[in-house]
């Protein structure tokens, strides 16, 4: 099923981080994340990306039609079952991923999660990580939760908790492998719809530890909400957005693979944009400006939409 254009989107609203975090060097944050990943790989642990996807729900926002916006049915949901949905994209033929788990929330004690998928692939370790002691090849896992559409608040709360390292979530695979996901993942991502446009405040948890985690938010205009408030040495900004767009897992994959291959901020930004362009049959030039991180010259500046800027400034912690 092909969905063209941005039908629905999500703005993530997060209150202010400490002033020291804002003053720190984003390049140093990225080095810290690389050091953590390399150390984990050297210790025999995989690189894990935890992804939270609240299903699009017509009771919250118009998703296109009844099937795309049925927040109780992942199969045809805009953000899960379509060609650029998480299951549709990572599960596509020839994508390079192997699905190693398909279960539901009951199996992981999460009744508001309707579908759980884990995909994996082997990656050639970049030289910089090998120089830190990592092996020549390693395993990358994507752990994706499809949340009940009307439980979007729970999905966002879990994203915030995981990105803050509040608690790990062990995922057992059929072969006996245990995946350290949730707050133990090295990267935490959100792909979904604009819930925070409806809220006046959001209680963001303080970082639970000093471990760096990569932050990804594929939704509409996330940068204006995140770049001055929720980044720092423990929440490393890998990919945010500066425009209205479809919450595309093609963009998510592009950013993940760029990181997994040792790419810097610029490579991750380009990887996310190229993924979005490929998934939507667009040109990179057409979509590149919608994606941002510290490699973007506009990083730290307001977005182009005055109303969104005002709303972001007015959100209370």
Highest mean pLDDT, choosing among 10-14, 86-90, 169-173: 86-90
pLDDT of amino acid 23: 45
Asked if 151 and 157 touch (Cβ cutoff 8 Å), the reply is: no
Is the model more confident about 205 or about 142? 142
Read off the pLDDT band of 224 (50, 70, 90): confident
Q: What pLDDT digit, counting tens, does each position of 93-130 carry?
A: 999 999 999 999 999 899 999 999 999 999 999 999 99
The C-alpha atoms of residue 47 and residue 45 are separated, in whole angstroms, by: 7
pLDDT of amino acid 316: 73
pLDDT of amino acid 268: 98
What residues contact residue 106 under an 8 Å CB cut-off, 6+ apart? Answer: none
pLDDT of amino acid 2: 40
Percent of the chain with pLDDT strictly greater than 70: 93
Q: Over range 6-11, report the average pLDDT.
A: 42
pLDDT of amino acid 200: 82
Q: E strands within the chain? A: 47-54, 98-103, 113-124, 137-147, 168-172, 178-182, 187-191, 213-218, 235-241, 291-292
pLDDT of amino acid 6: 41
Asked if 257 and 244 touch (Cβ cutoff 8 Å), the reply is: no
Helix (H, G, I), strand (E, B) or coil at 121: strand
Asked if 233 and 29 touch (Cβ cutoff 8 Å), the reply is: yes
Q: Over range 13-36, report the average pLDDT.
A: 70
CA angle 157, 299, 317 (to 5 degrees): 30
């Amino acid at each position: 099923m092909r969905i063209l254009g941005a039908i629905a989107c999500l703005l993530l609203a997060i209150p202010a981080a400490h002033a020291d975090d804002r003053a720190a060097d984003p390049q140093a944050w990225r080095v810290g994340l690389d050091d953590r990943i390399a150390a984990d790989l050297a210790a025999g642990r995989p690189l894990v990306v935890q992804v939270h996807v609240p299903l699009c729900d017509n009771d919250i926002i118009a998703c296109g039609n009844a099937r795309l916006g049925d927040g109780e049915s992942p199969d045809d949901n805009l953000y899960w079952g379509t060609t650029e949905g998480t299951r549709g994209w990572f599960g596509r033929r020839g994508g390079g991923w192997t699905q190693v788990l398909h279960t539901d929330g009951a199996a992981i004690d999460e009744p508001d999660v309707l579908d759980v998928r884990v995909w994996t692939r082997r990656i050639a370790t970049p030289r910089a990580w090998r120089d830190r002691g990592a092996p020549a090849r390693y395993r990358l896992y994507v752990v994706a939760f499809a949340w009940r559409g009307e439980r979007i608040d729970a999905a966002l709360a879990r994203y915030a908790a995981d990105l803050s390292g509040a608690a790990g979530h062990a995922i057992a695979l059929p072969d006996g492998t245990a995946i350290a996901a949730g707050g133990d993942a090295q990267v935490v991502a959100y792909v979904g719809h604009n819930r925070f446009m409806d809220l006046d405040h959001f209680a963001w948890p303080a970082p639970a530890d000093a471990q760096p985690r990569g932050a990804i938010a594929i939704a509409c205009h996330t940068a204006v909400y995140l770049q001055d408030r929720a980044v720092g040495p423990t929440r490393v900004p890998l990919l945010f957005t500066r425009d209205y767009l479809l919450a595309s897992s093609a963009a998510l994959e592009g950013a993940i693979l760029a990181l997994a291959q040792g790419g810097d901020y610029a490579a991750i930004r380009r990887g996310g944009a190229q993924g979005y362009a490929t998934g939507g049959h667009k040109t990179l030039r057409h979509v590149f400006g919608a994606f941002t991180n510290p490699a973007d010259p506009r990083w730290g500046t307001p977005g182009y939409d005055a109303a969104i800027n005002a709303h972001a400034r007015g959100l209370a912690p």
